[in-house]
Amino acid sequence: MLEVLNTSDKTRNARPEARVSADQKELFQRAAALKGLTLSEFVIDSTHQAAAQGLQEHELIRQSRAEQIAFVSALLDPPEPGARLRQAAENYRGKRGK
Protein backbone atom coordinates (compact mmCIF):
# COMPACT_ATOMS: atom_id res chain seq x y z
CA MET A 1 0.00 0.00 0.00
CA LEU A 2 1.28 3.47 -0.89
CA GLU A 3 0.51 6.06 1.75
CA VAL A 4 0.60 9.71 0.80
CA LEU A 5 0.79 12.67 3.15
CA ASN A 6 -1.15 15.80 2.28
CA THR A 7 1.66 18.37 2.52
CA SER A 8 -0.65 21.30 1.77
CA ASP A 9 -2.32 20.76 5.15
CA LYS A 10 -0.16 22.56 7.74
CA THR A 11 -0.95 20.00 10.42
CA ARG A 12 -0.27 17.16 7.97
CA ASN A 13 -2.80 14.89 9.58
CA ALA A 14 -4.69 13.86 6.43
CA ARG A 15 -3.45 10.57 5.06
CA PRO A 16 -5.05 9.45 1.79
CA GLU A 17 -4.21 5.91 0.74
CA ALA A 18 -3.89 4.30 -2.65
CA ARG A 19 -3.17 0.74 -3.68
CA VAL A 20 -0.96 0.49 -6.72
CA SER A 21 0.76 -2.35 -8.51
CA ALA A 22 4.48 -2.92 -8.06
CA ASP A 23 5.03 -1.71 -11.64
CA GLN A 24 3.11 1.49 -10.98
CA LYS A 25 5.01 2.16 -7.76
CA GLU A 26 8.33 1.63 -9.55
CA LEU A 27 7.24 3.99 -12.34
CA PHE A 28 6.20 6.64 -9.82
CA GLN A 29 9.45 6.27 -7.89
CA ARG A 30 11.54 6.63 -11.05
CA ALA A 31 9.61 9.73 -12.11
CA ALA A 32 9.91 11.20 -8.60
CA ALA A 33 13.66 10.60 -8.57
CA LEU A 34 14.04 12.35 -11.94
CA LYS A 35 12.29 15.39 -10.47
CA GLY A 36 14.28 15.24 -7.24
CA LEU A 37 11.16 14.57 -5.19
CA THR A 38 10.17 11.96 -2.68
CA LEU A 39 7.51 9.51 -3.79
CA SER A 40 4.95 11.25 -1.55
CA GLU A 41 5.84 14.69 -2.90
CA PHE A 42 5.61 13.41 -6.46
CA VAL A 43 2.24 11.74 -5.93
CA ILE A 44 0.83 14.80 -4.18
CA ASP A 45 2.16 17.18 -6.84
CA SER A 46 0.92 15.01 -9.71
CA THR A 47 -2.47 14.48 -8.11
CA HIS A 48 -2.81 18.19 -7.39
CA GLN A 49 -2.00 19.08 -11.00
CA ALA A 50 -4.44 16.48 -12.35
CA ALA A 51 -7.20 17.69 -10.03
CA ALA A 52 -6.66 21.34 -10.92
CA GLN A 53 -6.66 20.53 -14.64
CA GLY A 54 -9.80 18.42 -14.31
CA LEU A 55 -11.61 21.17 -12.46
CA GLN A 56 -10.47 23.77 -14.98
CA GLU A 57 -11.65 21.64 -17.91
CA HIS A 58 -15.01 21.09 -16.23
CA GLU A 59 -15.39 24.82 -15.60
CA LEU A 60 -14.57 25.61 -19.24
CA ILE A 61 -17.13 23.07 -20.44
CA ARG A 62 -19.73 24.40 -18.01
CA GLN A 63 -19.09 27.99 -19.06
CA SER A 64 -19.09 27.02 -22.70
CA ARG A 65 -22.45 25.27 -22.27
CA ALA A 66 -23.92 28.34 -20.54
CA GLU A 67 -22.54 30.56 -23.30
CA GLN A 68 -24.03 28.23 -25.94
CA ILE A 69 -27.44 28.49 -24.31
CA ALA A 70 -27.20 32.29 -24.14
CA PHE A 71 -26.13 32.48 -27.79
CA VAL A 72 -28.93 30.24 -29.05
CA SER A 73 -31.46 32.08 -26.89
CA ALA A 74 -30.34 35.39 -28.39
CA LEU A 75 -30.68 33.96 -31.90
CA LEU A 76 -34.13 32.52 -31.25
CA ASP A 77 -35.45 35.51 -29.33
CA PRO A 78 -33.25 38.51 -30.11
CA PRO A 79 -33.60 41.62 -27.97
CA GLU A 80 -34.96 44.78 -29.50
CA PRO A 81 -32.21 47.09 -30.78
CA GLY A 82 -31.27 49.86 -28.42
CA ALA A 83 -31.25 53.57 -29.24
CA ARG A 84 -27.56 53.59 -30.22
CA LEU A 85 -27.99 50.66 -32.62
CA ARG A 86 -31.09 52.25 -34.20
CA GLN A 87 -29.17 55.52 -34.65
CA ALA A 88 -26.21 53.69 -36.20
CA ALA A 89 -28.54 51.91 -38.63
CA GLU A 90 -30.16 55.23 -39.60
CA ASN A 91 -26.74 56.80 -40.15
CA TYR A 92 -25.70 53.84 -42.29
CA ARG A 93 -28.85 54.01 -44.40
CA GLY A 94 -28.37 57.77 -44.81
CA LYS A 95 -24.84 57.31 -46.11
CA ARG A 96 -25.95 54.61 -48.55
CA GLY A 97 -28.82 56.79 -49.77
CA LYS A 98 -31.64 54.43 -48.75
pLDDT digits (tens, 9 = 90+) for 21-76: 999 999 999 999 999 999 999 999 999 999 999 999 988 888 888 888 999 999 99
On whether the CB atoms of residues 71 and 31 are closer than 8 A, the answer is: no
pLDDT of residue 7: 52
The per-residue pLDDT for 38 is 95
Per DSSP, the three-state class of 17 is strand
Q: How confident is the model at residue 4 (pLDDT cuts 50, 70, 90)?
A: low
pTM attached to this predicted model: 0.54
Q: How many helices (H) and strands (E) does the chain have?
A: 3, 2
pLDDT of residue 1: 45
Residue boundaries of the structural domains of the chain: 2-96
